Structure 1
Amino acid sequence: MIRDSIPLEEIREGMSASYSQTITDADVKSFAGISGDHNPVHVSDEYAEKSRFGKRIAHGLMSSSFFSALFGTKLPGYGCVYTSQTLQFKYPVYIGDNLKATVTVKHIDAVKRRITFDTVCTVGKKKVITGEAEIYIPPED
């Protein structure tokens, strides 16, 4: 089995990992297809121009899904299980924005094998999504 993860015993409070991606029209349309969320504020230029946002915005859950990518590939890595996530959507993410997702270890419960993370998405210096996640790390076989 391919393993690319950090063992629970090596994880420390304050450790973090980040992922950046520029949000494209194709990303938004693909997410709409996968999720079934075809809200016109995401997929219709004409509708979105008349909305409070002035142009199309990315799905909030698409943007926050980058946290899952970080957990499963970087910190802690393969095999971990997402157990909870809170989200506060502070500002919209527009097509063309470079979104950076960052997860930071907040608390470690070694007995229960659970780690609490602060989760933040930024565009430039602006925090657009904040929250907290809990991840379970199964014991190694």
Structure 2
Amino acid sequence: MTHTMPAGSDIREGFRTTHRYSISAEVYEDFLAAYRDTNPMHTDDAFARRHGFPDRVMHGTILNGFISHFVGVYFPGGAVLLHSVNTQYKTPCHLGDEIDIEATVTQVAESVRVLTMEMVLRNVTRDRIAAKAKVQVGLL
């Protein structure tokens, strides 16, 4: 599922790459420990079921953590800084779900060393789109 990625100046509009993430128990527990968002929708299966969900709903910002990892480590990786992330959450995710981030480079502004990507975060476990994001990255 991973693709060879072009190096720095070889990045072109239209380049696509995909990377898979898992909403594991470790990811969930670490998020709770770091941010202490204990809303019962995220921590209580019975509460979530009473509100129409199969079990507790994972925090949407876990997906943003995956975006941060994707940009900083996977693509383009290295000497980069996130300039902006605009995320639209489409459907809830649950513990154990597998998420593919499909990124497409939509703009390369070489003069200011900024890369823009459109991302689709696809929940492959539930066969639906979890979120979409527009991401701008500074290439240092």
Which TM-score band (shorter chain)? 0.7 to 0.9
Q: Secondary structure at the match of 1:81?
A: strand
Unaligned runs of 5+ in 1: none
1:91 match: 91
- In the TM superposition, residue 16 of structure 1 has moved relative to its aligned partner by 2.5
Residue pairs, 1:45-64, within 5 angstroms: 45-64=45-64
Q: Is the 8 A contact 2:21 2:66 kept in 1?
A: no
Q: Distance in 2 between matches of 1:6 and 1:36?
A: 38
Calculate the TM-score normalised by the size of structure 1: 0.85
User: What are the ranges of 5 or more consecutive residues in structure 2 without an aligned counterpart?
Assistant: none
Offset at residue 135 of structure 1 (A): 0.1
1:131 corresponds in structure 2 to 133
Please report the RMSD computed on the Cα atoms of aligned residues, expressed in angstroms: 1.7
C-alpha offsets along residues 53-81 of structure 1, whole Å, 9 cap, x if unaligned? 23111111102321111111122111100
CA distance in 2, matches of 1:15, 1:68: 19
Equivalents in 2 of 1:102, 1:64: separation in Å? 14
Amino acid corresponding to residue 43 of structure 1 in structure 2? T
Distance of 1:73 and 1:22 partners within structure 2: 16
Q: Mapping of 1:66-105 within 5 angstroms?
A: 66-105=66-105
